[in-house]
């Protein structure tokens, strides 16, 4: 495969793709904007280790010095973690400027999907996707993640949409865009920190082999967009819905009072929810990412076997 001129594959990722072996993409915003240092770096390296343990090659994705990286070194992950929020949170609209100026960028779900697709990586594990923000009927605040899912053929394994969002409207938007929402072992959309939301997914799927079969069928049919797999947080790490919802409501009120909007909204809300829950939300966040990495690796293995 001829590489995109701005794209660099790590040796391990290049070798795995050339050999037809499973590769799982990982985003870098969770490193720079999702957690404090050094916990962010420790978590990123632990997720990579989990992917290797489950038979796949990890490809942490970022923009460094204007180069699109599919597979970061440990030193690059350390760099992203140390610089933290000083690094641009890079969505689709930012990529051309970052490349042209030789800048750094931490990839969101959107840009991780884009770069994974350029590299030929079909499975991506993350925490939760963005979606339709509460009050979007007046603010029009809708994550670019949903548009990317509609046009880029990558399977995204997550713990549902972040529960700071309007989950019902997020599902409606995905339906309009033709994006299938699959529940792994569940008929109900997980709500990130908790296993249940009250909203139904499109289909329940109960094995990595079936997930791979559905994605393979989508490719063969020539369907244009991606696929969303929602994987509930493990029971022992699921938070009390009353506790987490109260924290989210308070965080949203503070966000509105401070006039925070756009790409700063989600990092602010997640940090405030962490503060209000005494750190419990961060611990849950880490465990659900680990859980998604395991499922994505097993699904990628099944996909390459097919």
Residue 103 sits in a domain whose CATH number is 3.40.1790.10
Q: Are 144 and 252 contained in the same domain?
A: yes
Crossing angle between the packed helical segments 241-258 and 265-276, to the nearest 10 degrees:
130
Active site residue 27: yes
Query: Are residue 56 and residue 204 in the same domain, yes or no?
Result: no
pLDDT at 280: 72
The reply to whether 162 belongs to the active site is yes
Last residue of a domain, one of 102, 121, 140: 121
Same domain, residue pair 154 and 303:
yes
How do residues 222-244 score in pLDDT, each as one tens digit? 998 999 999 999 999 988 888 87
Are residues 49 and 143 located together in one domain of the fold?
no
279 and 301 assigned to the same domain: yes
* Per-residue confidence (pLDDT) for residue 172, from 0 to 100: 96
Enter the pTM of the model: 0.92
Lowest-confidence segment of 39-43, 123-127, 254-258 by average pLDDT: 254-258
Name all contacts of 83-88 with Cβ < 8 Å and 24+ positions apart.
83/32, 84/32, 84/33, 84/36, 84/37, 84/40, 85/32, 85/33, 85/267, 87/32
Q: Which domain-ending residue is among 121, 141, 172?
A: 121
Nearest to 61 by CA among 42, 43, 48: 48
Do 167 and 116 share a structural domain? no
Q: Encode 180-206: b = buried (16+ Cβ within 10 Å), e = exposed.
A: bbbbbebebbbbbbbbebebebbeebe
Choice among 48, 69, 148, 162 that is catalytic: 162
Q: How many folded domains does the chain comprise?
A: 2
Residue 157 and residue 286 share a domain: yes
What would the DSSP string read from start to end of 82-117?
Answer: HHGGGSEEE-GGGHHHHHHHT--EEE-HHHHHHHHH
Same domain (yes/no): 150, 285: yes
Return the exposure string of 125-157: e unless at least 16 CB atoms fall within 10 Å of the residue's CB, then b: bbbbbbbbbbebeeeebbbbbbbbbbebbbbbb
Question: Residue range 97-120: average pLDDT?
Answer: 98
Q: Which of 77, 100, 121 is the last residue before a domain boundary?
A: 121
Q: Does residue 101 sit in the same domain as residue 167?
A: no
Contact 237, 284 (CB under 8 A): yes
CA nearest 296: which of 124, 127, 161? 124
Range(s) of the domain holding residue 57: 1-121
Looking at residue 275, its pLDDT comes to 78
Catalytic residue among 27, 48, 76, 148: 27
| Contact of 299 with 157, CB cutoff 8 Å | yes
Mean pLDDT score of the chain, rounded to an integer?
92
Examine the domain organization and report whether 178 and 159 are in the same domain.
Answer: yes
CA distance 112 to 105: 11
């Amino acid at each position: 495969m001829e590489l995109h001129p701005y794209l660099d594959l790590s040796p391990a990722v290049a070798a795995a793709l050339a050999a037809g072996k499973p590769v799982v993409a990982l985003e870098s915003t969770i490193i720079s904007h999702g957690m404090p240092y050094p916990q962010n770096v420790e978590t990123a390296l632990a997720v990579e280790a989990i992917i290797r343990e489950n038979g796949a090659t990890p490809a942490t994705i970022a923009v460094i010095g204007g180069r699109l990286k599919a597979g970061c070194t440990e030193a690059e992950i350390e760099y992203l973690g140390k610089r933290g929020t000083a690094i641009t949170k890079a969505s689709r609209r930012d990529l051309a400027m970052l490349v042209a100026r030789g800048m750094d960028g931490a990839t969101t779900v959107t840009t991780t999907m884009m770069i994974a697709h350029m590299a030929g990586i079909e499975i991506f594990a993350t925490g939760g996707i963005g979606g339709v923000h509460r009050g979007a009927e007046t603010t029009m605040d809708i994550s670019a993640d949903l548009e990317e899912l509609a046009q880029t053929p990558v399977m995204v394994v997550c713990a549902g949409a972040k529960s700071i969002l309007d989950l019902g409207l997020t599902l409606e938007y995905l339906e309009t865009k033709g994006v299938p929402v699959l529940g792994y072992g569940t008929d109900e959309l997980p709500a990130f920190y908790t296993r249940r939301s009250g909203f139904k997914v499109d289909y329940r799927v109960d094995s990595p082999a079936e997930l791979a079969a559905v994605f393979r069928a989508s490719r063969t049919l020539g369907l244009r967009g991606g696929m969303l797999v929602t994987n509930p947080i493990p029971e022992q790490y699921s938070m009390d819905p009353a506790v987490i919802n109260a924290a989210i409501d308070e965080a949203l009120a503070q966000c509105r009072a401070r006039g925070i909007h756009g790409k700063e909204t989600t990092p602010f809300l997640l940090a405030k929810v962490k503060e209000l829950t005494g750190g419990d939300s961060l611990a849950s966040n880490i465990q659900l990412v680990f859980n998604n990495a395991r499922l994505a690796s097993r699904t990628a293995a099944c996909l390459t076997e097919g």
